[in-house]
Amino acid sequence: MKKAFITGITGQDGYYLTKFLLDKGYEVHGTIRRSSSINTSRIDSLIADYQKEGSLKLYYSDLLDSSSLYSLINKINPNEVYNLAAQSHVAVSFVNPVYSTQTGTVGSVSLLEAIKNVNNDIKFYQASSSEMYGGGVQSSLNEESPFDPKSPYAASKVFAHNMTKIYRDSYEMFSVNGILFNHESPHRGETFVTRKITRAATRISLGIQSKLILGNLDASRDWGFAGDFIEGMWMMMQYETPEDWVLATGKTYTVRDFLDLTFKKLELNWEDYVETSERYIRPNEVDYLLGDPSKANEKLGWEPKTNFEELVDLMIESDLNLAKREEVLLKEGLIQPTWESNN
């Protein structure tokens, strides 16, 4: 049985990757940060199904605790390590730049060092990001396109990306970078713009939210489905040689496009409910990102299976169910509409 070690297992990508690997018969080990509140909600269903039988094991650890990461790698001796953990919200990285850059840099080097010293045959996946490109060109971006980071988050990702390449070249390690363009799902965090839109639109359709406040509606992104991208991650790790890979759909849409499609599917006009505010504009905005996944298409045989409209449908269906439950709880007086004040 193959063993995988995942940092960031409780995030969107962690959920989909864990489910994918468990379905393939892996034994999955993952780290969670110790906190005063339980933060495993995304993977609770997987914990219920797999933890008792021993194929899913969780450990308290932190990317800034290099000794803990070394001990876990040494104890588990996994076949594959997936470094998905980070402070992943670009806007938050401007507010907390020190923590954001530390988690993005120290953690990757700590894992690479642990693998080098424990077992050089362990494969390593680094979650790079399309934000590294900076969005300065109105053309598709591939593995050879130059980086021009526009945020602390993106800068930390460039560092981790380069260190992954350095360890690959210097120590003959199987270390790969997956440069993933935006990938969304019903498990996306609610502060990310796509999920913010589908959560608000479904509540508005039921009359339990009055408006939605956003920032730059003209920002253009290459949006895919997280479940499709996770399979691409795994395919990179099975390839004969360690390389860097872009995963994207090759199509780009604006925030306005996402709004329009979401509200239309709920038979609403978004312009009646959406306002814009300067407080949601980044200090250094990335206006346009479009990926070129040709290399992954040709060499891995990877293709996105879910198109833009299908992605929006998935997110609306899930969030409409959540909104209906909230509607019942509101009528019973069991919750307050805190999303109105947090909007």
Active-site residues, by number, are: 129, 131, 153
Q: How far apart are CA 28 and CA 2, in angstroms?
A: 9
Tally of CB atoms within 10 A around 254: 16
Cβ-in-10-Å burial (0-12, 13-18, 19+) of 130 comes to buried
Residues 4-18: b if buried by 16+ CB within 10 A, e if exposed: bbbbbbbbbbbbbbb
Q: How far apart are CA 333 and CA 244, in angstroms?
A: 52
Strand pairing partners for 247? 180
Residues 188-217: b if buried by 16+ CB within 10 A, e if exposed: beeebbbbbbbbbbbbbbeebbeebebbbb
